[in-house]
Amino acid sequence: MNRLTLWFHKIGSPPTFYRIAGALAPWCFGIAIALGALALYGGLVLAPRDYQQGDAYRIIFIHVPCAWMSLFTYGFMAVNAFIALVWRIKLSEILAMASAPIGAAFTFITLVTGSIWGKPMWGTWWTWDARLTSELVLLFLYFGVIGLYAAIDDKRKAARAASFLALIGIVNVPIVHFSVNWWNTLHQGSTVRLMGPSKISGDMLWPLLTMALATHIWFFASLFARTRVGLLELEGGKDWARDVALADAARDETVTAHG
Amino acid sequence: MGGYGAYIWPAYAVFLVVLLLDAIAPRLRRRRVLAEIRGKLKRRTAREATR
């Protein structure tokens, strides 16, 4: 085995990943909260009023980053689902399954904030157009993955079944993304573009991008925390997981004794 | 908020509350999973002691 494969195997072993994720998670949560607070300040206080939408546009600072996250998370889940199905790597199974509830959370926020934004701007909470409907389908796909994983007792079989569903559902991701170009829709087109200039002024752009960064880091924080629990659950009979459980009980006892 | 506060604040509240739940959920599950592991361990040691 070459060095890279060796490194990969080491990182991928449940106790090692459990330890590394445990060291990284608090940092990720901290950085995400700090960046998020900065973005909120920039978006709610510093950014000027929009000439067309007034202050209502300020919902963009949470709506768009969460919408990006709903797709990013799906991509991350699908890649891990693919690795889990092809190479049967335990860690990938857990990573894929841990992504689903985070993706569902971001998709839910996207739908609710979009609906709240739609009421004053479009005059309706909801319309069955391509962007909104495909995003709703995305939420149901996340629910499907979560439900399927929970429904099967053998967690490794459950992860494979749910991974398969996650892989099929990937067709919906480009549909969500391109829906505003492919069909007539109430939803506005992309404001921020990777290629070419964005259609937004700088003092509105930086809070948006900062929030996007914050939500990405938040994703990894939550992913690490959830993956740790998933690994403990899967390997509950192994020595390392027992050690963690006993150490946790010992710590609780000292807290009660001193408290 | 230029008359749009009734829309903006609930939207931000949903954002914060959902992410807060997202952070709390794994902590609660962790506690349950660890208790389960300890429970199984205790039952096993008890079984081995009576044998």
- The domain ranges of chain A are 26-185+200-234
- Pair A177, A192: CB distance under 8 Å: no
Considering only CB atoms, which chain A residues are within 8 Å of B38? 245-246, 249
d(CA B37, CA A248): 11
At A222 the pLDDT is: 98
Burial of A245 (0-12, 13-18, 19+ CB in 10 A): buried
| Closest-CA distance of chain B to residue A25, Å | 11
Instruction: Render pLDDT for A89-102 as a digit per residue (tens, 0 to 9).
Output: 999 999 999 999 99
ipTM field: 0.92
Residues A15, A221, A105: CA angle, nearest 5 degrees: 120
Mean pLDDT computed over every residue of chain B: 92
d(CA B36, CA A26): 25
- Pair B3, A211: CB distance under 8 Å: no
User: What are the structure tokens assigned to A223, written together?
Assistant: 């992913």
| CA A56 to centroid of chain Cα atoms | 25
Helix residue spans in chain A (DSSP H): 3-12, 14-41, 60-87, 90-122, 130-151, 155-168, 172-182, 202-234, 239-258
> Does residue A195 surpass a pLDDT of 70?
no
Global confidence as pTM: 0.92
What residue of B is the nearest CA neighbor of A233? B33
d(CA B28, CA A229): 10
Report the 10 Å Cβ neighbour count for B13: 10
d(CA A32, CA A37): 8
The answer for A124, left when phi > 0, alpha when psi is -120 to 50, beta otherwise, is beta
Nearest to A17 by CA among A76, A72, A94, A107: A94
- Mean pLDDT, range A204-228, rounded to an integer: 96
User: Tokens 């398969």, residue?
Assistant: A164
With cut-offs at 50, 70 and 90, classify the pLDDT of residue A228. very high
Show Cβ contacts of residue B6 under 8 Å, excluding neighbours closer than 6 positions.
none
| Closest-CA distance of chain A to residue B10, Å | 8
Amino acid at A40: L
Considering only CB atoms, which chain A residues are within 8 Å of B5? 55
- Mean pLDDT, range A178-192, rounded to an integer: 83
| Closest-CA distance of chain B to residue A8, Å | 26
Show Cβ contacts of residue A170 under 8 Å, excluding neighbours closer than 6 positions.
A74, A75, A78
- Pair A179, A15: CB distance under 8 Å: no
- Of A111-115, A177-181, A194-198, the range with the lowest mean pLDDT is A194-198
Amino acid at A51: Y
